[in-house]
Amino acid sequence: MGKTFVPFALLLALVAGVAGISAKDTQSPKYKNVEVKHFVVADGVALTQNFVNVFYDALRDQLQKDAIAGQVVEEGTAIPDADAADSIVVEGKFTLFKPAGRSMSSPGKVDWEIDVYRKSDHSLITTLTRDLSTPGWKEDALAKACGQQAAHDIKKGLK
């Protein structure tokens, strides 16, 4: 009995631990919808449209994973009036881009500003800024990492 009891107890503890972690991870979303607008690029900031598009996709994906809202919708998607009070809009602007140099001692920099506001009355909930030093990554990897970071910033800013 002792030999089978120990593995069974370990299995039971593992299942209970996973269930506890899952319960924490499956928080209900704070908002019903989040509409994500394409970020604009400030005058004089040299970012490609590909960077902006990859950033946008990564931001939307990460907002969905972070369960900011029940549904993450694209810019211009109609949200029913009944849901507007429980919906937010995310829009932003890239304010600086400096590519990384060839050496690790010369990191790049991407800065942005994000406004999050209520869909129903357009009242500002929060404004977030980020000054991000970047390694010499390829454009797609950098844009994806920036989009994920922006989503994490939004999640933290809405707490």
The predicted pLDDT at position 27 comes to 66
Counts of helices then strands in the chain (DSSP H, E): 4, 6
150, 54 contact by CB (below 8 A): no
Model confidence pLDDT, tens digit, residues 113-159? 999 999 999 999 999 999 988 887 788 999 999 999 999 999 999 98
Point out the least confidently predicted range of 4-13, 86-95, 148-157.
Answer: 4-13
Give the class (CATH, top level) of 29-157. alpha beta
pLDDT band at 16 (very low <50, low <70, confident <90, very high): very low
25 vs 95, residue with greater confidence = 95
108 against 154, higher pLDDT: 154
Calculated CA dihedral for residues 92, 125, 69, 112, nearest 10 degrees: 20
**Measured between alpha carbons, how far is 135 from 41 in angstroms, rounded to an integer?**
21
pLDDT band at 26 (very low <50, low <70, confident <90, very high): low
Give the C-alpha separation, 151 to 31, whole Å: 14
Q: Where are the alpha helices (DSSP H) in the chain?
A: 2-25, 49-65, 81-84, 139-157
Nearest to 143 by CA among 74, 73, 47: 47
In a 13 Å sphere around the CA of 30, the CA atoms on its Cβ side amount to: 12
Q: Spell out the domain ranges in the chain.
A: 29-157
On whether the pTM is more than 0.85, the answer is: no
pLDDT digits (tens, 9 = 90+) for 46-74: 999 999 999 999 999 999 999 999 999 98
